[in-house]
Chain A
Amino acid sequence: MTVRINGKEFEVSPGTSVAAALLNIGYSGFRRSETGESRGPVCGMGICLECRVQIGGVRHVRACMVTCQDHMEIETDA
């Protein structure tokens, strides 16, 4: 299964969440905070919203709550 992250293709194993996939590939910062700090997942369960990314053109999606699908388009720092 492959996903596109910031335009580049990566292999991921089925059942992996978008957050886990990003961390595995080496992205630890997923988004920019109000003052421009790099932020990544904290709660892992949909509450903190620090893991927000763009998925399939939809902004502000919680990466920890979504399982990777084949050909998914993911953008960080969107």
Chain B
Amino acid sequence: MPELDRFDVVVVGAGPAGLAAANAAAGFGARVALIDENELPGGQIYRASRGSISASVREVIEDLSKKSVVRFDGSTVFEAPSDGVLRLWGPRGTQDIGYRSLVLAVGGRELFLPFPGWTLPNAMGIGGLQALVKAGLDVREKRVVVAGTGPLLLAVGAYLLEHGARVPIILEQAPLKDLALFGAGLVRYPAKIGQGISLGRHIATRLRAGAWVERAEGSRAVESVTWRKGGKSFQTECDFLACAYGFVPNVELPQLLGCEIQDGFVKVDDQQLTSVKGVFCAGEPTGIGGVDLSQVEGRIAGLVAIGQDDQAEALFGKRESWKRFARSMDRAFALRHELMELSTPDTIVCRCEDVRAGDLVAWESSRTAKLQTRCGMGPCQGRICGPATQKLFGWTQGSVRPPLSPVPLSALGRPLDEIEN
């Protein structure tokens, strides 16, 4: 039996939300554990670059170690074997840890919508490509088409240019008038302005608003994309396509723990408490709102977890203002209906099982489609095709089962090939 280590507060996810939660809880002397499956803390936005962490995150981490927060880096939570216990797989193998309070700060992932050619090698996510560059991918002189929607499009466009890529075009599906509205909204949020201004003129000349990728072409990998704007189609050659349509929450671990899901997000009260006693949730799983909202929610969760309710309440106003900002983003970057109609019958929707759009039209729910076609039954467990079929067909996502991610055979004592099936 794996040994059990007990903590007052266990935080899963070391992004902005999880770091804030761990810091807040440990500030009052609680015994805190912080778990993240990445080799270094930071989450998506502060992801370490070539093994080195940015100065601001390093400061937070030093603070955490002063407060004796126990870090479980490179460790994935894949099961909740009993009440108050999590099972993780990491450098030390399988391990169980116990908690009195749990903060789930597991973040989100990019939303991918299928189009012909989206499964070609070198077609990937926007944050996905950025993460690979941070992990050492050399994009110098590479032609990268950046497409999709949201502020990440411009941020990553700028990031790629800084790293020597050629970015012929940036395609934002939202029409220009909504973008302008969003720009105006930014003024009310001083912290965001710096980010906006640094994007500069070289981005503006590449940006096409109200434009989207219709298909990607290539033999062994992406060689060009065909895109649409103003009723006309255009073709642009490229080495990489970075394309995603915003974010969806990671709700699988909260679901496994029995937390109520409402409209696709983890339901929490004012204190970030889920429907399960002692289990809090903060950041992207409760609503997509960006780094500042994640941070303040994490802080509130960490404080309430150790009984500092008054301190937490003082932050409610700040949280509300970031939520307003999030709502204005949602409006500005609402997805256009044309994006839901890009697939042809032979376009793959479920990449794990190679289930095509034409195989799915006959079914009325993800459950029947799963049984009949294996859609969503592969190793990613529907994390990519689930949100897509939700947008395309209005299907809600089904239940989850452990292990939440494919851990090596030794973690479970049975072969991985078996877990996949």
Interface residues of A (CB under 8 A from B): 12-17, 19-21, 23-24, 28-30, 33-35, 37-50, 52, 58-61, 64-65, 67
Complex: chain B residue closest to A43, CB-CB: B128
Q: Is the CB of B221 within 8 A of A49?
A: no
Q: Is the CB of B109 within 8 A of A44?
A: no
Q: Is the CB of B136 within 8 A of A15?
A: yes
Q: Which 6 A-B pairs have the closest CB atoms?
A: A16-B136, A44-B131, A15-B51, A17-B135, A44-B128, A28-B121
Q: Which residues of B contact A20 (CB under 8 A)?
A: 132-133, 135-138
With contacts A42-B124, A47-B109, A48-B384 taken as known, whether A60 is within 8 angstroms of B131 at the C-beta atoms is no
- B interface, by DSSP: helix, strand, loop or mixed? loop
Q: Complex: how many Å from CA A74 to CA B416?
A: 18
A26 to chain B, nearest CB (A): 10
B125, B417, B420: the one within 8 Å of A44 (CB): B125
Q: Is the CB of B351 within 8 A of A50?
A: yes
Question: Counting CB contacts under 8 A, is B50 at the interface?
Answer: yes
- A interface, by DSSP: helix, strand, loop or mixed? loop
Q: Which residues of B contact A15 (CB under 8 A)?
A: 50-52, 135-136
Give residues of chain B (133-189) contacting chain A, Cβ–Cβ below 8 Å: 133, 135-138
Question: Counting CB contacts under 8 A, is B290 at the interface?
Answer: no
Between-chain CB contacts (< 8 Å), 23 pairs = A16-B135, A17-B136, A20-B133, A20-B136, A20-B137, A21-B136, A29-B221, A33-B354, A37-B354, A39-B351, A40-B121, A40-B124, A42-B112, A42-B124, A43-B110, A43-B125, A44-B127, A44-B128, A44-B130, A45-B128, A47-B109, A49-B379, A59-B416
Q: Complex: how many Å from CA A24 to CA B142?
A: 11
Give residues of chain B (110-128) contacting chain A, Cβ–Cβ below 8 Å: 110, 112, 119, 121-125, 127-128
Question: Counting CB contacts under 8 A, is B353 at the interface?
Answer: yes
Q: Is the CB of A49 within 8 A of B380?
A: yes
Known: A28-B121, A46-B37, A47-B109. 9 other contacts (CB 8 A): A15-B50, A15-B136, A20-B136, A28-B122, A34-B378, A40-B221, A45-B131, A48-B384, A61-B408
B53 to chain A, nearest CB (A): 12
Q: Which residues of B contact A42 (CB under 8 A)?
A: 112, 123-125, 128, 351, 384
Give residues of chain B (76-126) contacting chain A, Cβ–Cβ below 8 Å: 109-110, 112, 119, 121-125
Q: Is the CB of B51 within 8 A of A14?
A: yes
Q: Mark B237-279, 1 if CB is under 8 A from A, else 0.
A: 0000000000000000000000000000000000000000000
Q: Mark B361-389, 1 if CB is under 8 A from A, else 0.
A: 00000000000000000111001100000
